[in-house]
Amino acid sequence: MPRLTSESAFLECIDRHFANSHPHMERGRGDDCAVLLCPERMTMSSDLFLEGVHFRRSYFSPADVGYKALAVNLSDIAAMGGVPLGFSLGLMVPPSPEFADAAAEEDPGQPAPAGCGAPVVPAGTEAYWDAFFGGMAELAGEHGVALTGGDLSRSPMMGVSIAIWGGPSDSEAGPVPFLGRQGAGVGDVIFIVGDFGLARIGLLALETMGRDAETLYPRAVRAHLRPVPRVQEGQALARFALTHGATGSRISLMDLSDGLARDLPRLLGSEAGSGLYADLAIPEATLADEIAGYCLANDLNPLEQATLGGEDYALVGTCPAALADALQALLPHARRLGTVVKGNGHLLNGMPWEACGFDHFA
Amino acid sequence: MPRLTSESAFLECIDRHFANSHPHMERGRGDDCAVLLCPERMTMSSDLFLEGVHFRRSYFSPADVGYKALAVNLSDIAAMGGVPLGFSLGLMVPPSPEFADAAAEEDPGQPAPAGCGAPVVPAGTEAYWDAFFGGMAELAGEHGVALTGGDLSRSPMMGVSIAIWGGPSDSEAGPVPFLGRQGAGVGDVIFIVGDFGLARIGLLALETMGRDAETLYPRAVRAHLRPVPRVQEGQALARFALTHGATGSRISLMDLSDGLARDLPRLLGSEAGSGLYADLAIPEATLADEIAGYCLANDLNPLEQATLGGEDYALVGTCPAALADALQALLPHARRLGTVVKGNGHLLNGMPWEACGFDHFA
């Protein structure tokens, strides 16, 4: 199978998948820097996605890696209610200057499972990187985001570093202000847009069963390999906040990357002394079926798994109670998880989180 | 020695070194994204800086790593003639979730040599990261560039991924257009701002002698560990190009990261079929003393080392011959290396590059 043996071959592969023109790019890839046409305000973030830390090549197809590395970054723009514009890509290519891959011998490829992404082929081959860039470009295309440049380096392991930025969405009243984590108040409703817990079940199943996990837990596996960045919903929430003026300015939002149990205290500033806590009502029966199924089969506590699990990339936020019905009308698949309370600790179904066995919450 | 054992301890260490306010940052670190106030045009780049590929901890002090990771990125903004504004930092921390470091046992630290940067202490300790961020913050402060956010991850090896962006410098005629690689024409003068070749000699000396190399080759070692991004000179050249109108638009510029022999053909588009080649005149006697000294002691060809050597981060460019004297007056330390010619190959001191033994030129 042909291998990518030079930087220029890599760049050609990138050019096949990513257009080098975009309304946001006055000058694209090929110079020391890109030149971008920018709105007055931009929102900017970056995330690492590293082999052995964030993904394994044994069950991530190359297209899955390319997809998810960009998805987790898009999710940060979603959490601000922004419109993604461009991203810069740092690509760590194992393991030698020739981009020919000793690991390819160790990892001889597996038959492609149905479902998520392209066949698992050895890293280092042109087919591997073609699938990788294909998975990334498909998602970039969905969101209209430009690849403006970046850097290639050999590396002991595969890794992807993406910096991403976006502008505000437009409204009749002008650019829509970005949302943020600030704003929660006592009595506000805590809501979530997207699944939570499934990605963790997918991870656990993939770690023990490999891609065979897809047969038993297809949604959970997909949630882990192909999380959906909630970009449209983030923008809808930012416009909603603008429409509701001063009341709307109390809408807070973040993306759920480390699990409800770790992220909600950040949103509420609980550990920073805000005095705000979450009072959650999450009946076990409302959890996704595959969470219950996996936990039953593996003697795990479904609520614990669902709230501890990271990498959901759902949007979690708070809004004043008076706006909750309107928000629900705007986003019918949003779900109320509970209420913001003044207190000394977080509650889940009426019990202190710790009492539910969630030591990690501290 | 205390270790950084949590993400929040890391973030506190970062906050000690980097202000979280800046005219360019409407919202700084601590949310899903930063919110930036942007000029209409920005220039954007990113570079990886990885242990074992771009640096070794055996002779890079932590402050050197922090410094150089940012310096190589600033150099890309310099090559555009831009004013650096902000950067986002992806930090790969070896090797465990606790940030406590098995590598620290293998690499027990060395006595600090005089000169470049902080003492070499084991990674994983607070002192290591304090020195790392100190080296980076010192350079960031010199250039007034804001750290807007980023990502921390454990990783098998240490690594730094930086995305950086800048705006145009100002002039009475408005924002100064960014420079680029386009523009060289037959008869143009090829010039360089900054040293070339020294960084390679520094690398060779460090690889064989470790930090003892500093005694014999202090300038070369410093060129490798602490390259100077030519930001002011880049801006001066961009203003110079604007002042000279249509003639000035023929000034091309790039930063020298892979050595003259690889980078000049990129600048001239030689391999892309421009028909343009470099006719260089570089008398051996004009090379830096330490290049000659090291090559004499190690039976190497000084011209070959000087032109093959990468990581100089000098600015190399072309300008119409009619502007060469004015450019020299503007930047007295700029140096003429030769002329752009139409032809079939590059020349060095009247000989085809290949005939000088430079097989790598192809």
Compute CA A331 distance to the chain's CA centroid, rounded to the nearest angstrom: 19
> Which residue does chain A place closest to B256, by CA atoms?
A32
Instruction: Give the residue carrying structure tokens 């817990």.
Output: A197
Q: Does B307 touch chain A (CB under 8 A)?
A: no
Cα separation, A226 vs B44, in Å, equals 28
Which of A274-283, A291-300, A344-353, B167-176 comes out lowest in average pLDDT?
A: A344-353
- pLDDT score of B279: 96
Say yes or no to pLDDT of B115 above 50. Answer: no
Distance from the Cα of B254 to chain A's closest Cα (Å) equals 6
Amino acid at position B29, single letter: R
pLDDT band per the 50, 70, 90 thresholds, residue A117: very low
Which residue on chain A is closest to B50 by alpha carbon? Answer: A155
Task: Report pTM.
Answer: 0.91
Return d(Cα A115, Cα A46) in angstroms, integer.
28
Give residue-wise pLDDT tens across range A15-69. 999 999 999 999 999 999 999 999 999 999 999 999 999 999 999 999 999 999 9
Contact between A32 and B161 using a beta-carbon 8 Å cutoff: no
Confidence of residue A271 (pLDDT cuts 50, 70, 90): confident
Range B173-183 average pLDDT: 95
Phi, psi torsion values for B348, nearest 5 degrees? -130, 120
How many Cβ contacts (< 8 angstroms) between chains A and B?
173
Tell me what the mean pLDDT of segment A206-213 comes to: 96
Q: Which of B168, B318, B343, B329 is nearest to B250 (CA)?
A: B318
Do β-strands A146-154 and A159-168 pair in parallel, antiparallel, or remain unpaired? unpaired
Residues of A in contact with B254 (CB under 8 A): 31-32
Mean pLDDT on B138-153: 97
**Stretch A137-145: mean pLDDT, rounded?**
98
> Tens digits of per-residue pLDDT, A77-93?
999 999 999 999 999 99
Average pLDDT, chain A: 89
SS3 B132: helix
3-state secondary structure of A132: helix
Average pLDDT, chain B: 89
Is the model's pLDDT at A323 over the cut of 70? yes
**A151: nearest CB among B43, B46, B79:** B46
Dihedral sign for Cα atoms in the order B130, B131, B135, B136: negative
Q: Does A103 touch chain B (CB under 8 A)?
A: no
What is the reported pLDDT for A98?
39
pLDDT bin (cut points 50, 70, 90) of residue B309 is confident
B229 touching A (Cβ < 8 Å): no
User: What mean pLDDT do residues A124-135 have?
Assistant: 91
- Kindly tell me if the per-residue pLDDT of B120 is higher than 70: no
**How is residue A273 written in tokens?**
């002394």
Query: Of A6, A26, A41, A46, which to mutate for an interface test with B (greatest number of B Cβ within 10 Å)?
Result: A46
For B123-143, what is the mean pLDDT? 92
Overall average pLDDT of the B322-333 stretch: 97
Strand ranges across the sheet with B82-93:
A25-27, A34-37, B41-50, B159-168, B82-93, B146-154
Residue B186, chain A, CB below 8 Å: the answer is no
Q: What is the mean pLDDT of residues A95-123?
A: 42
Q: What is the per-residue pLDDT across B151-173, written as a single tens digit (0 to 9) for each?
A: 999 898 999 999 999 999 999 98
Backbone angles phi, psi at A188, to 5 degrees: -65, 155
A159 CB within 8 Å of a chain B CB: yes
Q: Look at residue A6 in the predicted model and tell me its pLDDT.
A: 77
pLDDT of residue A125: 82
Is A115 a residue whose pLDDT tops 80?
A: no
The fraction of chain A above a pLDDT of 70, given in percent, is 88
More confident: B100 or A171: A171
* CB-based contact B77 A150, cutoff 8 Å: no
State yes or no: pLDDT of B106 exceeds 70: no
Q: How big is the CA angle at A199 (ends A314 and A351), to the nearest 5 degrees?
A: 75
Give B2's pLDDT tier (boundaries 50, 70, 90): low
Percent of chain A with pLDDT over 90: 78
Q: Which 8-state DSSP code applies to residue A287?
A: S
Instruction: For chain B, give the number of residues.
Output: 362
Q: How many CB atoms sit inside 10 A of residue A263's CB?
A: 21
| Region B128-148 average pLDDT | 97
Please say if the pLDDT value at position A13 is more than 80.
yes
Q: Do A38 and B42 touch (CB under 8 A)?
A: yes
Taking 80 as the threshold, does the pLDDT of residue B193 lie above it? yes
Q: Is the pLDDT confidence value at B298 over 90?
A: yes
Could you give the 3-state DSSP secondary structure of residue A182? coil
Judged by average pLDDT, the poorest of A30-44, A91-105, A283-297, B53-67 is A91-105
> In the prediction, which pLDDT does A124 show?
72
Tell if the CB–CB gap between A92 and B48 is shorter than 8 Å: yes
The pLDDT, as a whole number, for residue B100 is 44
The span from the CA of A201 to the CA of A217, in Å, is 8
pLDDT in tens, A338-359: 999 999 899 999 998 875 545 4
Residue of chain A whose Cα is closest to the Cα of B271 = A8
ipTM of the shown complex = 0.91
Residues 313-342 of A with CB under 8 A from B: none
pLDDT exceeds 50 at position A119: no
* pLDDT at site B171: 93
Instruction: Give residue B6's pLDDT.
Output: 77
Mean pLDDT score, B298-303: 94
Strand residue runs (E) in chain A: 25-27, 34-37, 41-50, 82-93, 146-154, 159-168, 170-171, 174-175, 189-193, 252-255, 276-280, 315-319, 334-342, 347-348, 351-352
Residues A207, B161: Cα–Cα separation, whole Å: 28
* Closest Cβ opposite residue B32 in set A40, A80, A149: A80
- Dmax (CA) for chain B in angstroms is 62
Q: Is the pLDDT of residue B211 over 60?
A: yes
- pLDDT 10s digits, B252-267: 999 999 999 989 999 9
pLDDT tens-place string over residues B345-359: 999 999 988 755 454
